[in-house]
Amino acid sequence: MTTKRRGMTEEAADAAIDQACRMLRMPTIRNSFTDYADRAGRE
């Protein structure tokens, strides 16, 4: 039995990361995760 994998939109991923950073009280990461994600995508 295979499970169909559903992708997450970029907006949903951004919202999830933002919420996780708020819950973990990580404002520095929350403010710059877009830059980190862009850099990781290029590498």
Domain boundaries, the chain: 11-42
pLDDT at position 2: 58
Residue 5: per-residue pLDDT: 57
Distance CA 38, CA 13 (A): 13
Burial of 22 by CB count in 10 Å (0-12 exposed, 13-18 middle, 19+ buried)?
exposed
- The CA-to-CA distance between both ends of the chain, in Å, stands at 34
Instruction: Give the span between the Cα atoms of 8 and 22, in whole angstroms.
Output: 20
At 7-25, the pLDDT tens digits run 888 888 888 888 988 899 8
